[in-house]
Each structure stands twice: as C-alpha cells, then as structure tokens.
Copies of this chain bind each other. A is one copy, B any other.
Amino acid sequence: MAALTIDVLRYGHRDVRDYRVTTHCCLVARALGARKIIIEGTPDRGIKESVDGVTKRWGGGFKVEFMESWRSAVRKYKKAGFFIVHLTMYGLPIEKETKKLRKKGKILLIIGSQKVECDVYRLSDANISVTQQPHSEIGALAVALDGLQGGKELAKRFKGAKIRITPQPHGKKVLNAR
C-alpha cells in the first residue's frame, strides 16, 4: 500500500462558537497523518497559534490554513489531482469503499457541521459515511484517516520533534528529543 497524501477541509467553521471543535479537528488531522487542514471561515489566530505550537513542539510539517470559500479550495484541489471525499452519514459506507479510495493517491477529506450545502454533496467525487448514524465530524475524521491508512499512521514518527513520549504501562514519560 503506497502512502496516501491526505488534506482536510473543515467546512463551515463559525468563529468563537466552533473554537474547540475545530481545534480538535486540527489536532486529529495532524496526529493521524494528514498533511494540512484548510478551515473555511474567518481566520482565527487562536486556533492557528495553538495548533502551530503543537507542531513546533511535537514535530512534523502539519499546516493550518484559512480560506473564505470552500468552493475555491475544492477547485484548487481538483486541479491538483486530489480526489474529493465528503464525509457524511448519508454517503456510501467507508468499510465498502476503502480499497477504492486508497488507490486515489491524493485525497481531500471534507468534514462539515450540521448544515452542509447541497453543492458539497454534488461537487465531491465521493460521499462517504462512517456509520449511518449522527455523531461527530471529529470522530468520523479519526476513523476515516485511520481506515484509509490502514492504521499505519498510528506509529508515525514526527520529524523535528522537541519532545517525544516513551509509551508506559502506567504513568508518563516524556523525553527531550533534541
């Protein structure tokens, strides 16, 4: 299985109200091997600084960007050869589509909130569900990233980390990596 390039588009971020949920989306995207997150909405310096701070300490090259329009993001990604996957409980079951999706090489995962415009469904190359139940875009993103990469991302080593955890059965062990 060749490594996938996965970017994430967070649709419909609302300033202040979505601060925590969008931050969770960013951190899940980073920890589970995505390369970048694009947040549709007004640039929120707090989110960017907080996630960039995590990347600075914990390593890797994860990027946070804001864009005013999801349409132009999708257009840009289509041009760059990305396959556009919208995660929605109305879509086709991920467990049946994973093999096909892995072959795409470059994927943009769109995660929304409660109200997503019809055009997101229409303009995406695939609408994919992580269960057909209402739950959480954070949970759906995590399961999708893990499934698409076959769990390989769980052991990903983040380059340039200043600190690193040594797994322990009980307690905490953090090492200075430099």
List A residues 119-178 near B (Cβ within 8 Å). Answer: 121-122, 124, 126-127, 129-136, 138-143, 146-147, 151, 153-156, 158, 164-165, 167-174
State the CA gap A19–B165 with chains docked (Å). Answer: 30
A41 is an interface residue with CB less than 8 A from chain B: no
Question: Residues 72-96 of chain A: 1 if any B CB is under 8 Å from the residue's CB, otherwise 0?
Answer: 0000000000000000011111110
Interface residues on A, range: 35 or more
A24 on the B face (CB < 8 A): yes
A20 within 8 A of B: yes
Across the interface, A139 reaches (CB within 8 A) one of B93, B121, B133, B141, namely B141
A6 close to chain B: CB less than 8 A: no
A8 contacts partner chain B, Cβ-Cβ < 8 Å: no
Interchain CB contact under 8 A, A92 and B139: no
Q: How far is the CB of A51 from chain B (nearest CB, A)?
A: 10
Q: A127-B169, A169-B126 are in contact. Are A134 and B27 (CB under 8 A)?
A: yes
- What residues of B have a CB within 8 angstroms of the CB of A21 in the complex? 20-21, 24
Q: Say yes or no: A139-B90 contact (C-beta < 8 A), given A95-B151, A151-B147.
A: no
A95 to B118, CA, bound (A): 38
Interface check A66, CB cutoff 8 A: no
Smallest Cβ-Cβ distance to A91: which chain B residue: B167
